[in-house]
Amino acid sequence: MRKTIHDPVHGSVAVDGPFREILDRHEMQRLRGVRQLGLGNMVFPGANHTRFEHSLGVYHLSGRMASALGLPEEDVSEVKAAGLLHDICHAPFSHAMEELVEERTGFGHMELAEKLIKGTIPTHLASDEDMFSSARPISEVLEDAGISADKVCDLIACPDSRNEGIEAFDEAERTSHFRSRDYMHQIIHGPVDADQMDYLMRDSLYTGVVHGSIDVERILSTMKVFNDRIVIEKGGAVAAEGLMVSRSLMYTSVYYHRTVRIIRMMLAKAVEASSIDISDAYLWTDADLMEMLVRDGGVPSLLARSVRNRVLYKKAVSLTSEETSEELAETLSCHAGYQRRKALEKEIADKAGIDVSEVVVDLPPKSSLLSAVSIGKTDVSILDDGKVRPLTRSSSLAKALQSRDAYGWTLLVASPGNRTEAVAKAAGKVLGL
């Protein structure tokens, strides 16, 4: 039986067969309690949309992309399932907890998704044992519908295309340049994929930041498979440029917004200071985690309540890219990465004579500090007269966007308002500013 869901981004979304059963399961319903932008609503009040909505959107777009490419029904079902389930293990507050969970557990949310789908890890809280103890794994629902659970999990957990470069080739060279059927992965994880198209449009709508406009119809109508890869025909190049513009501006305006980053770090600091075992964080909602932190007392409770009431840490040190010399960038890169950043926070706190919970440090990735790199995804492949080339070879706009500094800053140190002066001096001494 088909169910039609009205979505503010995509309009009417049809859900039927095994997808309706999966959508109604407890593992998916948890995502209603996990905000898509984590604590972004503290800066953008309308950003209260959830991972549930996003997952529904990716399901819808994945199916449309697969159909536009003329894929067989079996492939369409696999990518729709992967789109629906790709975020099923996202931790509370989305990316705010992602780094810490991976550091503590050794697994990212996509790796955990495979385990959850196959039922090799708990799928519900112990308190819900009476409700879901007899629930069969999602993998069985997929298999009963003739959808390979292994292939779905492979699409979610093994994004082969994410970091691969694109070399020019032509129709006469139809050799195995790339992994067979890699276009399937690219629908979920690629330069033009269903995941990013949905989150850019959805996040733009709910934040009110008007940078997420994407010509989806044009992209879909010019998309095709060539040598096992997804390419955009030349007629869709402008739409591909628009996608790159949207992505670049949304990262600067929303995802790397400095206040949003400070709030994220405060929440992570609360969890780090707590006695909470986060091994089962993939089963929690935002409200679950906040309640645990408040109940834990002490520093975790204070930080959680500060975030909840928007009593935020203030910038003690903030360096823009223009203010950062190559030598300083090299120095800062030595502190990039979770463990090194935590060590730097401790060193600054000790120098300032305060508790480490009162210092948060944020740095871009080492690669961004040392060189101009593209954000997250590789270049878009454009098919022109039987030849495929990266969009950046023919578009000066795309080339500029790929090397654009989306962060705009290289160092952000924050602390309680009454500690900023001491922390600024300590950071200056530690980093030689």
State whether 178 and 196 are in the same domain: yes
Structurally, how many domains does the chain consist of? 2
State whether 104 and 219 are in the same domain: yes
State whether 235 and 336 are in the same domain: no
3-state secondary structure of 432: coil
Q: In what order do the strands lie in the sheet with 229-233?
A: 169-170, 387-390, 381-384, 229-233, 223-226
State whether 384 and 432 are in the same domain: no
d(CA 184, CA 62): 10
Q: Report the candidate in 98, 56, 153, 120 with the shortest Cα–Cα distance to residue 282.
A: 98
Each residue's pLDDT expressed in tens, for the chain with a length of 433 residues: 789 999 999 999 999 999 999 999 999 999 999 999 999 999 999 999 999 999 999 999 999 999 999 999 999 999 999 999 999 999 999 888 888 999 888 888 888 999 999 999 999 999 999 999 999 999 999 999 999 999 999 999 865 444 443 333 333 343 333 346 789 999 999 989 999 999 999 999 999 998 878 999 999 999 999 988 999 999 999 999 999 999 989 998 999 999 999 999 999 999 999 999 999 999 999 999 999 999 999 999 999 999 999 999 999 999 988 888 888 889 999 998 999 999 999 999 999 999 999 999 999 887 677 665 445 455 889 999 888 998 988 888 888 887 777 787 889 999 999 999 999 999 999 998 8
**Residue 264 placed within a domain:** no
**Residue 279 placed within a domain:** no
State whether 207 and 153 are in the same domain: yes
Q: Which residue has the tokens 């088909």?
A: 2
Domain that holds residue 348: 313-364+407-433
- For residue 48, the domain's CATH number is 1.10.3210.10
**Residue 239 placed within a domain:** yes
Give, for 230, the enclosing helix (H) or strand (E).
strand 229-233
**Residue 307 placed within a domain:** no
Q: Report the candidate in 404, 367, 416, 377 with the shortest Cα–Cα distance to residue 265.
A: 416
d(CA 409, CA 248): 15
**Residue 278 placed within a domain:** no
**Other C-beta atoms within 10 Å of 336: how many?**
17
**Residue 274 placed within a domain:** no
